[in-house]
Amino acid sequence: MDMTVTETPEGVTHVALDGRFDIAGAQAVDRRFAELAEKAKILVVDLAKVSFLASLGVRTLMISAKTIIRRGAYIAVAGASQDVEKVLRLTGYDELVGLYPDVDSAARALTSRAKEFESRKA
């Protein structure tokens, strides 16, 4: 499992995964996901190149989502194939985290939500 992390000027952390998110894939990215969950303000997880999602991959995503949400930050999943999205829906992950067709729409939605929340606080 390959994992590429980039930051946008707008403060969006983009995580692109490539490969099988199975036992080996989850082990390869768990630590980095945990670190990102502790510091990212807006995290978009791009699953467009994930060919398979197993329970340990869902576990990695779920733990990260709960950590991010607990901190008051934002997370979304983008670009999941039909099969991967089906797994996310069957596990209830979509009830916790928004699923978007692509990275741009996910980033726009989360950035907008974050700005709206900030304006309410002011």
Q: Provide the pLDDT confidence category of residue 114 given band limits of 50, 70 and 90.
A: confident
Q: Provide the pLDDT confidence category of residue 118 given band limits of 50, 70 and 90.
A: confident
Which domains are assigned to the chain? 2-121 (3.30.750.24)
pLDDT at 93: 96
Residue percentage of the chain with pLDDT more than 70: 97
**pLDDT of 115 over the 90 cut:** no
DSSP 8-class letter at 80: -
Kindly give the interhelix angle for 82-90 and 55-70, rounded to the nearest 10 degrees: 70
Residue that has been written with the tokens 């930051």 in this structure: 7
**pLDDT of 122 over the 70 cut:** no
**Tens-place pLDDT, residues 79-105:** 999 999 999 999 999 999 999 999 999
